[in-house]
Amino acid sequence: MSRILIVEDEESIAELEKDYLELSGFEVEIENRGDTGLARALAEDFDLFILDLMLPGVDGFEICKKIRKEKDTPVLMVSAKKDDIDKIHGLGLGADDYITKPFSPSELVARVKAHLSRYERLVGGVQKKNEIIEIRGLKIDKTARRVFINGVEKNFTTKEFDLLTFLASNPNRVFTKEELFSNIWDMESLGDIATVTVHIKKIREKIEADTSKPQYIETIWGVGYRFKV
Ligand code: CA
């Protein structure tokens, strides 16, 4: 759940913003002073800040500037005067957006949602790239644990997926059935190397066009298996 900090000295406005944001599923905290608001903004993890401009202690301009030195978290400035907007621009504070009072609560919620999803896409783009193996028509998404053949998804059991991914991650290397068994199944597992043979057969049925002439997993007679690239 996204966490939002509102720094606003007019309590009725702060409460109104909080009510609407909570109705939309956000977790909301309020600080009524600029100095305490700034301290929390820097010390805690929030997903978005809503800052009033005129505040006791430290004003919204200063808070925004200090937040920007340390965080990329979206900042939405709230002002009572149109003149303030020019000042926000002029100071180059790095605020993501501003909204003038009086505003409709639904407009505030819409702006908050837009900034949060943009920020999540930005952060997500760096952190959450799926690890994918692609060989000819076979695509293995290691992160999502999904397998596709020519764009069509195939259902894999956990061990089938682990075995295929292990082989495909170590291409052109021959593994004995014993090696595969010890890598994919933990030592306590019941079963033996015949389990490997059974799983290879099932994987081939899913990924090979013709299981009698496998294009991906090759049998090396008397030794084991090799993933061909
Ligand atoms: Ca104020």
DSSP per position, the chain: --EEEEE-S-HHHHHHHHHHHHHTT-EEEEESSHHHHHHHHHHS--SEEEEESS-SSS-HHHHHHHHHHH----EEEEES-HHHHHHHHHHT---SEEEESS--HHHHHHHHHHHHHHHHHHHHHHH-PPPEEEETTEEEETTTTEEEETTEEE---HHHHHHHHHHHHSTT-EEEHHHHHHHHS-TT-S--HHHHHHHHHHHHHHH-SSTTS-SSEEEETTTEEEE--
Q: pLDDT tens-digit profile of 98-139?
A: 888 888 888 999 999 999 988 877 776 555 567 889 999 999
What's the confidence (pLDDT) of residue 79? 84
Report the separation in Å between the CA atom of 51 and the middle of ligand 1, taken as the mean of its atom positions.
9
Query: Which range among 77-81, 82-86, 96-100, 205-209 has the greatest average pLDDT?
Result: 205-209
In angstroms, the CA 78 to CA 48 distance is: 13
pLDDT confidence of residue 125: 55
For residue 75, what pLDDT band results from cuts at 50, 70 and 90?
very high
Burial of 212 (0-12, 13-18, 19+ CB in 10 A): exposed
Q: How many CA atoms lie within 13 A of 108 on its CB side?
A: 30
| Cα(166)–Cα(154) distance, integer angstroms | 17
d(CA 91, CA 178): 67
Kindly list the structural domains of the chain, giving each domain's residue range(s) and its CATH number in brackets, ordered by start: 3-123 (3.40.50.2300), 132-227 (1.10.10.10)
First to last CA, the chain: 43
Q: How far apart are CA 154 and CA 148, in angstroms?
A: 6
Residue 28 CA to residue 49 CA, distance in Å, equals: 10
> What spacing in Å lies between the alpha carbon of 54 and ligand 1's midpoint?
4
Reported as a single tens digit per residue, the pLDDT across 165-201 is 999 999 999 999 999 998 998 766 666 788 999 999 9
| Ligand 1 centroid – CA 83 distance (Å) | 15
How many degrees, rounded to 5, is the angle at CA 11 between CA 7 and CA 14?
Answer: 50
Tell me how far the alpha carbon of residue 16 lies from the centroid of ligand 1, in angstroms: 14
Distance from the alpha carbon of residue 109 to the mean position of ligand 1, in angstroms: 20
Q: How far is the CA of 195 from the centre of ligand 1 (A)?
A: 70
What is the spatial distance between Cα 229 and Cα 216, in angstroms, rounded to a whole number?
7
Query: Which phi and psi (to 5°) does residue 46 adopt?
Result: -120, 160
Joined together, the tokens standing for residue 106 give 């639904």
